[in-house]
Structure 1
Amino acid sequence: MNPIIDGILAMEGGWSFNDKDKGGETNWGISEAVARAHGYTGDMRDLSRIEAYAILENDYWIKPGFDRIAQISYPISFELCDAAVNIGAHYPCIWLQRWLNVLNQQEKRYDDLKADGHIGPLTLAALTRFLSWRGKEGESTLVKALNCSQGAYYLEITEKRHENEQFIYGWIKNRVT
């Protein structure tokens, strides 16, 4: 079992529904739309932890490449996966690439990346070079930087959609650490 997915499942908990939440009904952090896309046809209250685990692992761990990030940095992979479960994988991938670009001392350490949201060999190599250069301090700094982007994202979507005001406190409290 993947402890990151297990941790996210524990944090997400079971079924919830708030009519102001654009995600609609969710269970174990899985929205109804995502569950249906995976062929789930039952009541969302009945989505099992095992079914949710499989969806989370596939869509928010393996597909975006966070499993490969984990081989380089477990804390960074957790941060990316946790954000992806909450907002989708695309933005966290772009945030990683953008932060790696601005932390490379104007390409003295490694070439800039195309911030396309796809974790591939160049992103993995840049992350490896960054961490080889900056070490554990760099790892924790990069996690903080990713949290900054996540917090800015929540602020932006809440300013655009005032219904999100009832959620932003919890997002910041639980997701931006």
Structure 2
Amino acid sequence: MPRRLLQRYLPHPDALRRRRSLRFVSHLIGNPSLWMLTRRSVANAFSVGLFCALLPIPFQMLLAALGAWLVRCNLPLSIGLVWLTNPLTIPLIFYGNYRLGAWLLDIQVRQAPEHLSTRWIAEQLVEILPPLALGSLVASVVIAAWANLVVRLVWRWQVSRHWKARAWRRRRHPPAAREK
């Protein structure tokens, strides 16, 4: 069942509340609805985490934590999914978002120079930012909705499969046969 798999990897709320660095938010971390592993809470956590991960903003983890608190979905899963955008994947994801935004705005994609530098990016920021922002917002909304749907369907499929296996085991070994 998906719940057992997720519980194996997620931290325990008591362990986080005891950490000195998190004591100032211990009353928020202690909310049981932020730690439940239900189909709804996990699917919404995927939506919140992936939405925040694809936005080109700082403090994505803080935004994901706030989103998890507002939506009452699984907090550690929301925060963990933000790490989809890490130093290795950020250039590819944001370049894809930029290209999507440029396509939506019907503007020509800027070609990067042979030697990409922060100075070039700073000079081009005014022209890069609108397509990047639009592309990131559209990609975030679409992927968050898609992830929510996929998680709900996979969870439902797993539960249905588990029920069918349990019914098959019961038919194969009826309770009366087990008692003898």
The structure carrying a bigger helix percent of its residues is 2
TM-score between both structures, scaled by the size of structure 2:
0.35
Task: Give the TM-score of the pair, scaled to structure 1.
Answer: 0.35
Larger Rg: 2
